[in-house]
């Protein structure tokens, strides 16, 4: 990780190097987004499980998946563990959100430093009020 920091402190040699570094930054941002989304889905699953087993009798048996193995436990044993896992997920998500904000700022600073603008192509402009569906492809424009 220290190597990455030293690589970014060096000035890029040409426009292609600037574009490559910008793409790498965008890729890291997308990875953070996808990880946050994945963890939020897991968090919602934990919430559903907690909501389903909380009103039940604590001595009732339930099954819990631990490392790919289904284990028979009581609700009194499982509920605190699931709640701890949920709290841990919330903490990880908040840390990743902070990292996401730092990465967004880093990208904005990089774009400002090298005057990078994303232009949409002429074919991407909707005609007569129609809206184009799907993902739009941007064009990376380097320094003039």
What is the CATH number for 41? 1.10.287.370
In a domain, 41, yes or no: yes
Q: Average pLDDT of 72-98?
A: 97
- Specify the range with the lowest mean pLDDT, choosing from 15-19, 32-36, 52-56, 126-130: 126-130
Q: Average pLDDT of 54-63?
A: 96
In a domain, 133, yes or no: no
Residue 22 to residue 24: CA distance in whole angstroms: 5
In a domain, 6, yes or no: no
For residue range 97-132, list pLDDT tens digits in order: 999 999 999 999 999 999 888 887 655 555 555 555
What pLDDT does 142 receive?
47
Q: What Rg value do the Cα atoms of the chain yield, rounded?
A: 23
In a domain, 95, yes or no: yes
In a domain, 139, yes or no: no
- Considering the entire predicted model, what is its pTM? 0.73
- Look up tokens 């990376």; give the residue: 140
Is 4 a residue whose pLDDT tops 70? Answer: no
More confident residue, 125 or 70: 70
Q: Which residue range forms the structural domain that includes residue 90?
A: 15-120
Is 29 a residue whose pLDDT tops 80? Answer: yes
Q: In this structure, how many other beta carbons lie within 10 angstroms of the beta carbon of residue 23?
A: 11
* Vertex 39 angle, CA 34 and 45, to 5°: 130
Domain count, the chain: 1
128: left (phi over 0), alpha (psi -120 to 50) or beta: left
Q: Average pLDDT of 85-90?
A: 98
In a domain, 10, yes or no: no
What pLDDT does 13 receive?
74
In a domain, 4, yes or no: no
Give whole-number Cα distances, 111 to 18, 117, 130, 140, in Å.
Answer: 10, 7, 31, 10
In a domain, 5, yes or no: no
Average of per-residue pLDDT values in the chain: 84
Which H helix or E strand runs over 120?
strand 117-120
């Amino acid at each position: 990780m220290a190597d990455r920091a030293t690589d970014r402190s060096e000035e890029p040699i040409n426009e292609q190097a600037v574009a490559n570094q910008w793409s790498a930054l965008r890729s890291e941002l997308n990875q953070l987004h996808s990880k946050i989304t994945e963890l939020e889905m897991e968090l919602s699953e934990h919430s559903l499980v907690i909501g389903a087993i909380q009103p039940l009798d604590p001595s009732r048996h339930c099954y819990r998946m631990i490392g790919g193995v289904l284990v028979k436990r009581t609700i009194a044993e499982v509920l605190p563990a699931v709640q701890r896992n949920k709290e841990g997920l919330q903490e990880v998500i908040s840390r990743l959100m902070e990292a996401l904000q730092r990465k967004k700022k880093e990208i904005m600073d990089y774009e400002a430093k090298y005057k990078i603008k994303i232009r949409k192509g002429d074919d991407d402009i909707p005609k007569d009020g129609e809206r184009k569906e799907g993902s739009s492809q941007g064009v990376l424009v380097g320094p003039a």
